[in-house]
Amino acid sequence: MSKALRVPDYLAHILNAMERIDRYTADMDEAGFLDNELVQDAVIRNIEVIGEASNNILRADAAFAAQHDDLPWQVMYTMRNRLSHGYDKVDLEIVWRTIQDDLPRLHSRFIEMGTTLPGSVPEETGPGQS
């Protein structure tokens, strides 16, 4: 598969994971999140997807990632690794802050970027846009 086809697929995976996180936490405050293991597990799984897809973009098309160096590709992958490999030491307050502070901005940026690519992902409602 060519790079032009792969990057849009990975962007779609990232957007889908962000939108799932938004749906899972839409009517929740931090206390509710910290008290709900099912939602925690679902959110962590989708953050892992975001990180893995980010790393796939870095590997599949480093030039594309460099053109979009305002996005924290490596940070997303590092968070994925910390959640996956440090599963017994997850700081859920950091996860919550990521949901509230980082994902809405990143979602907007990924939508903007994705809609300019051949085979781009469709614009959808996402974090902070319900």
Domain boundaries, the chain: 3-114
Rounded to 5 degrees, what are φ and ψ at 99? -60, -45
According to the model, what pLDDT value does residue 123 have?
Answer: 46
Buried b / exposed e along 113-122 (16+ C-beta atoms within 10 A): bbeeeeeebe
130 residues of the chain, pLDDT tens digit each: 555 558 989 999 999 999 999 999 999 999 999 999 999 999 999 999 999 999 999 999 999 999 999 999 999 999 999 999 998 999 999 999 999 999 999 999 999 886 666 555 444 445 655 4
- Cα Dmax for the chain: 45
What pLDDT does residue 121 have? 46
Answer for the pair 15, 114: CB distance below 8 angstroms, yes or no: yes
- Other CB atoms closer than 10 Å to residue 19's CB: what's the count? 19
**Angle of CA points 12, 14, 16, to nearest 5°:** 65
Provide the angle, in degrees to the nearest 10, between the axes of the packed helices 103-114 and 3-25: 150
Catalytically annotated residues:
80, 85
pLDDT at 126: 54
Q: What is the reported pLDDT for 130? A: 45
